[in-house]
Amino acid sequence: MNFPEDVRYTREHEWAREQAGVVTVGITGYATDQLGDVVFVELPEVGRKLEAGKAFGVVEAVKTVSDLYAPLAGEVVEVNGALGDDPAAVNRDPYGAGWMVRIRVAEPQAFAGLLSSTDYAKIVEEQHR
Amino acid sequence: MEPATVLKRTPFYEFHRAAGARLVDFAGYEMPVRYTGDVREHVAVRTAAGLFDITHMGEFEVRGAGSAEWLDLMVTNHVGGLAVGQALYSPMCRPDGGIVDDLLVYRAAGHHMVVVNAANLAKDFAWLAEHKPPGISLEDKSDATALLAVQGPNAADVLRGHVPDAALELGYYRFTTGALYGVPATISRTGYTGEDGFELYFDPSHATTVWNGLMESGRPHGLELIGLGARDTLRLEMGYMLYGNDIDDTTTPLEAGLGWTVKLAKGEFHGREVMARQKAEGLKRRLVGFQLDGRRVPRHGMRILSAGRSVGAVASGTSSPSLQRPIGMGYVETALAANGTALEIDNGSTPLAARVTARPFYTRGTHHS
């Protein structure tokens, strides 16, 4: 499985893309494969403060339900409202149209501490074996 | 997560791998839960045709004089009423009315075949063996039986020319034996999807012949591989039971809405007394179907509430691909079982508004009845 190199990753199968102190967050292609067809995404309100590693939302698939975990601490500045009508975008385009929240990160340097594409691929391989 | 024991594999395992299936432990078997996507697979079965590997299910052969009478003591439906070439669906109950399993009984020319849920295979065999009179033989043929299901409006087209013509003329819950892609098979017009379809029993040594034959003849008819995920959404849209979710040792067939399978008039059977009493006195609780607004999915075990009071639990729930809304089933107090009754499902955060609905949820299926 290939993981884009322009984003960083967490062990909880979120990805994060940084731009000028704001990080866009979604779930990885591996996560969507595990979940199956996504039918509902519960996202936080804009303005909510997130703690790193804490649940901030829920993704429901046909067969399973899973929490979403914040990769970094910060404040939610935007959520992907389009997922309300089109949750399947998470499966179709997990790193693009399937994005979930944008967070203004509390500590910009923390982004570099997230996993690289290579490191994440290794973790997936271990979990999948 | 490492499996505690070595998982069994069906003779189609390598085909599942090659097709890119996600495999999971199901009743001790490594089974495909999904190939391309739950919804896509579901839609393929509703609109074209799907192929399911259900070899994990158990097959018992019952032989000997008095087999039908004995099976009639063990199950609630009427085995004695079957003609050769006919099958029936029935719960098998304990004396207290609890359901040991739900199963199919086939009446063949010289024996009966009992088809049971994989998860209950050992329990069922022990239960039957324990109650078996001398003179009747009970044999577990599961390891010598491969089982595939072809389901969907195009199922007969997939098989045309590769089974005896008579097999395509079979009525629902009828079966025959004959050549399937040139190999001996039992061909049964049964299924768990609500669509027209067939279940195909044959020796595992012919697995490759039959699989490849189906792949080839199925292609022009849109045959897709279907995993356990879509199998569940398909059966739940029909309101069919999943043992362990909707029925178990603590529920009776009447509570589950399976009254049509309980033949009190046929004579003695395990659980008859309890069911006769339930019928006379009325039920305390019933399995109901419900639909929800919004998108959040009810899940097995969630509490069902009425006016803030807990009145039962969700047995099965899913997002229905055909209805494009969440559906579920659960046991509630009889007073709340009427269609249209407003309920709430407690999913731990938000209470979900639900309304009791008639089953099946999906009413446009193509199965012959």
Residue range B335-364: average pLDDT? Answer: 94
Looking at residues A28-43, what average pLDDT do you find? 94
Q: Is the pLDDT of residue A124 over 50?
A: yes
Residue-wise pLDDT for B191-208, tens only, equals 999 999 999 999 999 999
Segment B153-164, tens digit of pLDDT: 999 999 999 999
Question: pLDDT confidence of B368, banded at 50, 70, 90?
Answer: low
Whether the per-residue pLDDT at B219 is higher than 60: the answer is: yes
* Whole-number pLDDT of residue B4: 57
pLDDT digit string (tens) for B36-53?
A: 999 999 999 999 999 999
Mean pLDDT for chain A? 94
Mutate to test the interface with B, among A40, A41, A62, A91 (most CBs of B within 10 A): A62
The average confidence (pLDDT) of chain B is 96
CB within 8 Å: A40 and B33: no
The residue-averaged pLDDT of B267-296 equals: 96
Is the pLDDT at B3 greater than 60, yes or no? no
Mean pLDDT of A64-84: 96
| List of chain A residues whose C-beta atoms are within 8 Å of the C-beta of residue B37 | 36-37, 91
Q: With an 8 Å Cβ cutoff, are B295 and A91 in contact?
A: no
Summarize the confidence of residues B45-72 as an average pLDDT: 98
pLDDT band at A1 (very low <50, low <70, confident <90, very high): confident
Tell me the per-residue pLDDT of B113-128, one tens digit each, with 9 for 90 and over.
999 999 999 999 999 9
The confidence band for B367, taking pLDDT boundaries of 50, 70 and 90, is: confident
Supply the pLDDT for residue B346. Answer: 95
pTM (2 decimals)? 0.94
Dist. CA A15–CA A24, nearest whole Å: 8
What is the pLDDT at residue B369? 52
Residue B65 has pLDDT above 60, yes or no: yes
Kindly report the nearest CA distance between residue B311 and chain A, in angstroms.
24
What pLDDT is attached to residue B348? 87
Contact (CB<8Å) A40/B296: yes
Minimum distance, in Å, between the CA of residue A14 and any CA atom of chain B: 20
Q: What is the ipTM of this complex?
A: 0.84
- pLDDT band of B1, cuts 50, 70, 90: very low
B319 vs A39, A42, A91: nearest CB: A39
Closest residue by Cα to residue B329 from B261, B231, B256: B256
**Which comes out higher in pLDDT, residue A34 or B162?**
B162
